[in-house]
Amino acid sequence: MIDFSMLAVQPVLGLTPYQPGKPIEALARELGLDPAKIVKLASNENPLGPSPRALAAMDAALGETARYPDGSGFALKGELARRLGTAPERITLGNGSNDVLDLVARVFLGPGRSAVFSEHAFAVYPIATQAVGAEARVAPAHDGRRGPRYGHDLGAMLDRVADDTTVVFVANPNNPTGTYVTAKELEDFLVALPERVIAVVDEAYFEYVERDDYPDAVAWLDRFPNLIVTRTFSKAYGLAGLRVGYAVSHPQVAELLNRVRQPFNVNHLALAAAVAALDDGEHLERTRRLNREGLRQLESAFQRLGLDYIPSIGNFVTVDVGREAGPVFDALLRQGVIVRPVANYGLPNHLRVSVGTKAENDAFIAALERVLGGL
């Protein structure tokens, strides 16, 4: 039989596929566990689920699923523009914000070009970069002396920008570390960055952040035409299963992204749910409150257990279990608890734990104590 890898383009051969969090159904099937008793804290999902208004909007939209969705996303773009204080022509919709990151790579990267991002940054950046044949330039993260340990070192990232660099990716806050760059740091970085380099500021966890020195990069779009800000409905809005995200940028950049965007890349139910979710501020505030309390709960447990962790402003905490994390992860699976190993991010002794409900967090903490006590 033919070796099909001989037919693949060279950049694809060097890629490692993105590994999502293990699904509840898969763990139940593999270990014979009751799905109802499995706790999944692996994928930074909203434990409250979608807004009731979003669920009602999906229910009302079901009758139109035989028709194609509005390929322009007119209603959602209009509502986003109104809330963000910008124009609809600045918005590009995506099948999750991952889709938009891929669009950026397809438009602005390719052979003979490079992208810059930080060590420990989101795994999609190298995948999107390498898939189009561009070079990935990885800057070392902070070591804790001049900035938060494991966080983006924007100065080191600027040092990696070369004549062939056309894109830099800044995750703010970053996944999986939960670290962030301040408004002053990011502003100085954008001022220093050459105008010919596209700056992608990935704000997937924007709605969770409660820090006075955290920037709202959308407000800077007029000052920095080379800026693209990406956000998602998968996290705080609880619509991960529907896959809807967006970018905000200069209108010419948005027009270029739309040239390679797949037709109807956001489905009908997702469009309806996202519009409704934006209108439910009460649900979003409940989500923030639960996350605030959950972060304290997890951090207190790690302190009690003598475990180092990376302080996070997202909806997850990455904890150092003091040994190779793989066996701890496997043992937690046998306890019916799914978290996320992050050795592929250069953190082999760490596990990333999403904030769940109080009961879910309690179940994880109890399981972790049993596992660590038995190893």
Q: What's the pLDDT score for residue 37?
A: 93
341 in the same domain as 209: no
Q: What's the pLDDT score for residue 22?
A: 86
Looking at the structure of the chain, the number of domains it has is 2
Q: Which of 117, 107, 203 is nearest to 153 (CA)?
A: 117
The domain boundary residue, chosen from 278, 294, 324: 278
Decide: 313 and 208 in contact? Cβ < 8 Å: yes
The domain boundary residue, chosen from 245, 278, 311: 278
Residue with the two structure tokens 């994880």: 364
287 in the same domain as 272: no
Decide: 54 and 277 in contact? Cβ < 8 Å: yes
Q: What residues contact residue 344 under an 8 Å CB cut-off, 6+ apart?
A: 16, 19, 123
Structure tokens at 244: 């809807």
CATH of the domain at 24: 3.90.1150.10
Structure tokens at 215: 């920037």
| Long-range pairs, 326-334, Cβ under 8 A, ≥24 | 327/375, 328/368, 328/371, 328/372, 328/375, 331/371, 331/374, 331/375, 332/364, 332/367, 332/368, 332/371, 333/22, 333/27, 333/31, 334/31
What distances in angstroms separate CA 274 from CA 204, 224, 236, one per listed residue? 15, 28, 12
CATH of the domain at 70: 3.40.640.10
Indicate whether 179 belongs to any domain: yes
The domain boundary residue, chosen from 221, 245, 278: 278
**Identity of the residue numbered 81:** A
Half-sphere exposure (CA, 13 Å, Cβ side) for 125? 27
Q: What's the pLDDT score for residue 375?
A: 67
Q: What's the pLDDT score for residue 259?
A: 96
- Model confidence, pTM: 0.94
238 in the same domain as 104: yes
292 in the same domain as 262: no
348 in the same domain as 243: no
217 in the same domain as 196: yes
Residue 324 φ/ψ region, left for φ over 0, alpha for ψ in the -120 to 50 degree band, beta for the rest: beta
Q: Residue-wise pLDDT tens for the chain (375 aa)?
A: 888 888 788 888 887 777 788 899 999 999 999 999 999 999 999 999 999 999 999 999 999 999 999 999 999 999 999 999 999 999 999 999 999 999 999 999 999 999 999 999 999 999 999 999 999 999 999 998 888 999 999 999 999 999 999 999 999 999 999 999 999 999 999 999 999 999 999 999 999 999 999 999 999 999 999 999 999 999 999 999 999 999 999 999 999 999 999 999 999 999 999 999 999 999 999 999 999 999 999 999 999 999 999 999 999 999 999 999 999 999 999 999 999 999 999 999 999 999 999 999 999 999 999 999 876
261 in the same domain as 223: yes
Indicate whether 39 belongs to any domain: yes
Structural domain including 234 reads 52-278
146 in the same domain as 38: no
